[in-house]
Each structure stands twice: as C-alpha cells, then as structure tokens.
Amino acid sequence: MFLEVVPVIRSIRGKDTFTYSGSDSNGYRIGDVVWIPWRNKTILGVVWKITSSKPSFPTKEVISVTEFSLSPEFIKFIEWFAQYYHVAKSHVLKISLPDFPKRKAKEKINQHKKENGEAFSIVRKNKIKSIISKYLDNPKSGTTFLYQRQDDVLSSIKELLIQCSGRTAIIVSEDIFAQYLCLVFDEHNPRIVTSGLGKNVLYNSWKKVFDKSEKLVLIGTKRLSLFPLTDFEQVIVIDPEDKFHKQWDMNPRYHVFRVAKKILELSSGNTIFFSQSPTIEQFKDKQVITEFIDEQEDPDVILVDVSSRQYDEFFGLLSESVKQGCDDSSVPFLWYNQKGSGSFFVCGNCKNLIKGIDQKKCSNCGSFDLQVRGHGTESLVKALRNAYPNRPIIEITKDNELANIDYKQHPIIVGTSYAFKVLDWSKIDYTAVIMIDHLIAMPNFRSEENVLHDLIKLRNYTNSLVVQTNVPEHRLFRALKEIFPIKWYSEIDVERQQLKLPPYGERILLRNKSTKETKVVYSDKDLPINSDWIIDREL
C-alpha cells in the first residue's frame, strides 16, 4: 500500500504531497493523521490519497498512525482554503493542526472579573428566549441576529447552549472577550482556544473535537475557526464585522467571516452570527433578524458641523460644543482613530503648506483659513493638557495601553478604536468623535462601511454620541441615527452590484515575495501559478 501524504510544514504550493509506503494491516484511511520521517526528523502528515500502484522511486515508510482522522468535510475545507488563499495544503495544515506535545499540561484561563451579563427585566429575558426558540423550531443556516446590547447576545447563547446537546464553537474577535465568556458560561465547562495558548492546552482542546461522546463548548478567537468544525452542531460568530476577526500578521491573511461561511456550506450544522452592524455580505444573504432591536428607539446622535471653523486654541480639533462637553462631564472619552501628531497646515485660500501647528495664520496670504493635516491622538492630548493643566489626560492606543484607569480622578480620555476593549463604559458619561471624515474619504470601496461599523459599536457603548464632521448631511451619518439603516444598506448593495464589487465580484490583493510588486485579481481563478505570489489580503 502506498500513501500520498501532505506533511504538516510550510512547503511550496503545488509540491506539498509526498509518497510513503504503509503496511496493509494498519487499515489506513484518507484523513488519517500520521507520523512520517522527514529528512533527519519525524513530523506529522495527513493521508490524502491511497493507491496500490508502486512508484518508480524508492519510498520511506510511515512510522505510525495517531488516533486522529480528519473528516471528508474538513479535508474539503482544507482544499478550499488552500485554493482560495493561494497557499499549499501543507501550509493550511500547519496553521490548522496544533503541535502534538509529548507531555500534558493543565489548562489555565485568566480570571477576569465575571460581571452580571443579564442586567435587564424578566420580560426582556422571556422575549429573547422566545426569539431563540422560534429560530430553533425553524432553523435557518447562516442567520444573523442584529443586536445593540451585549446582554441580548449572552442570554441568546445561553439558550442555544441549553438546547444543544452536542458541540458548539463560539468565535469572538479578542482574547479578553473569550476569557470573559468562559467565565459567563462556566456551567457548560467551556474550553478556550486562542493563538496565545501553550501548545499542550491547544492540543488538548483540539483532541476533544474528536470525542463525540460528550457535550463540548469551545470559545476562542480566529484560531478556533481553523479547528475541525465541519461536524459541529453550532458555530456561533460574534461581531463578524469586527476588524480583529481578520488575520493580519501572517500569510495567509484569512477572515473569520469567510471561513465560517465555508464551514456552513460543508457542514450539516448551523452557523449563527450576532452582529451590531452587519456587513454588506450579510445583508445580501437576506437573513438578518431584527427582533432584538424592533422595540428600541433610534439612538441619540448629535452632529456638530465644523466645516466653517477656524484655528483656535485647540488647533482646530475641538468645537465649542465638544469643549463644553468636556467641561461638564466627569469622564469624557474623545475618539480619534488616528495615532501620532500633526505636522503642517494647508491654507484654504492660497493652498500654501505651513509646517508646524503653532501658526495662527498663513505666512503667504495672511488667511486664517488653516486646514489641519496629519493630526492624531498626540496632537489632541497636547492641546488638552494646555487647556486642562490640573486634569489627568489619558491617551489609549495600541502602542500606549494603560493597565488601570482611575476614573475617580475625572480624567479626559483620548483613544483610538483600541480603547474600546479597555474602557469601563459604565464610567464614561460623555463620548465624542473628534474627526472621521478623513477615513470616509479614503480611496477604498469599503471605507464608508468600515467607518459605520466603528461608529455603531461606539454608539452602542454609550447613551449619546457626539460627532464632529465637515459633512453632516452625508448618508453615513443619517444611517448612524438609525439602529438598522435599511436604506443605507440598500443603496450600498445596489452600488456594489452595479460596479461588480464584493460581494458581487471578488477582489484580492496579491504581493510578490521577491519583487514586492502588488496587483489585484478579481477571482481565485485568476491567481498566478508562480509561487512567489501570495495573497496579501482580501479587498
């Protein structure tokens, strides 16, 4: 018997299957995880094909068979992933399978504070239970439940876990939320799956997938989406629109939403999404359920028109309205999704470039119409410290995260989207968006959608949201004032369809590892054969 085996390594695309010999008595099956000799060491491999035809070259023999065998559906998933993301099957197995440790270790979960996840009335709880029960009676694969409050999600998942006697995977965007959910659903004995776990813990969780005799709940981040989930009864994805669901720091740069949709296609179970701001792809599927938010009032969003503002003591960053909000609030949060500081002005009259941000008028024509370019959180912090010398000013970005915030000191907090997961929102009593127009105007067909995702998340964290903008009549801000802006979704959907943009036409950015050249292809069928080209990201 001869076996075509895909080694669990990062090999070259198209050259990732190798022939080994195996004893007939072992009863090999396609999908078996085996130990194979590889140069001067022993590594894992997966049996991809079995044949009785002897090759024309000498072969090495498979060393042993593990207790694991990948299902036909998961094998198809690996093949799809390799084709779509333009990588070797061996590469996909390398990022999908855990390291097989030689000794075991106990699983540890960071003990974050477990808060009350159901702080609302019995009537509300019963409504949630009714919605979930109705869904279970008439299941729709790929359903998206639109929500505004996290309590709705937690109560819904509790109902889903009670009703499911088999296996459930819950995929979230960040480690800290996965740890929190493990504590919230502690009675179901969940296991956590994140890329930061030790190899023993990850292996033990992966091993549990193959034991179908007992109920299993896995909670994790994007690493969990590459587990063998094709025969799970339920795969639940929370906030698939969150940018942290994307893999940024390695090749392939996969997206949890796309992976979850493929799992749904290959499995007999259900994939369920809970979303604050569905993607256009979810809207196109016409399975967005709005019953959680049907009785809620439209949110309180205040737009501040700053189109006519001139330079002031706050470098043109803060309107009088937002300044007054900072004065009147105990703990305001000012969101500016751009790090760093500004370096120059542009004169609105003569288009002269003025370096530095300490000038009050144009040195060329004397105009006060100076337009800020390049400002970020550092600029804002500097202005606030000059204006409020006796008040703590805290900056929170990915490069500057604080472990603890003393809210009793009434600080003014400045941050990017990274601050969303750090703040205790029950202590924030005023929230303002300093500037977002530059992100809306970026030359990317997803710019408007991505900005709306961030703004809706921020809006849902607070009772009231103030937004400074030069274009208050923009359709995005009209959409922000509605819990589910059906008109905005319909308009974007029509535009994408007319221009054949995703989800009506794929667009993938490729990068050449050797030359650093980039190019866009419009289908996975257009991917080049040359292995130097890799997928940089989906567009």
Domains of the chain: 2-96 (3.40.1440.60), 122-289 (3.40.50.300), 300-341+376-482 (3.40.50.300), 508-538 (no CATH)
User: Does 499 score more than 50 pLDDT?
Assistant: yes
Res 108: pLDDT? 39
Name the least confident of 190-199, 311-320, 394-403. Answer: 311-320
pLDDT-derived band at 538 (thresholds 50, 70, 90) equals low
Q: CB of 310 within 8 A of CB of 409?
A: no
Beta bridge partners of 354: 345
CB-based burial label for 412 (10 Å; 0-12, 13-18, 19+): buried
User: Does 63 score more than 80 pLDDT?
Assistant: yes
CB atoms within 10 A of CB 218: 24
Helix (H) or strand (E) holding 262: helix 256-266
Res 80: pLDDT? 93
Which pTM was predicted?
Answer: 0.85
pLDDT-derived band at 116 (thresholds 50, 70, 90) equals very low
The CA distance from 117 to 166, in Å, is 24
Res 338: pLDDT? 78
| Comparison of pLDDT for 55 and 441, the residue scoring more | 55
Q: Tell me the mean pLDDT in the region 474-493.
A: 94
Name the least confident of 45-49, 255-259, 401-405, 460-464. Answer: 401-405
User: Does 488 score more than 80 pLDDT?
Assistant: yes
Q: CB of 464 within 8 A of CB of 302?
A: yes
The CA distance from 433 to 512, in Å, is 38
The CA distance from 170 to 527, in Å, is 32
The CA distance from 309 to 214, in Å, is 64
| Comparison of pLDDT for 513 and 450, the residue scoring more | 450
User: Does 131 score more than 70 pLDDT?
Assistant: yes
User: Does 114 score more than 60 pLDDT?
Assistant: no
CB-based burial label for 191 (10 Å; 0-12, 13-18, 19+): buried
User: Does 318 score more than 90 pLDDT?
Assistant: no
Res 188: pLDDT? 93
pLDDT-derived band at 521 (thresholds 50, 70, 90) equals confident
User: Does 215 score more than 70 pLDDT?
Assistant: yes
Q: How far is CA 428 from CA 284, 338, 363, 405, 406, in A?
A: 36, 21, 41, 12, 12
Res 413: pLDDT? 94
pLDDT-derived band at 436 (thresholds 50, 70, 90) equals confident
Check residue 106 and report its DSSP letter: -
Name the least confident of 174-178, 179-183, 246-250, 508-512. Answer: 246-250
User: Does 229 score more than 90 pLDDT?
Assistant: yes
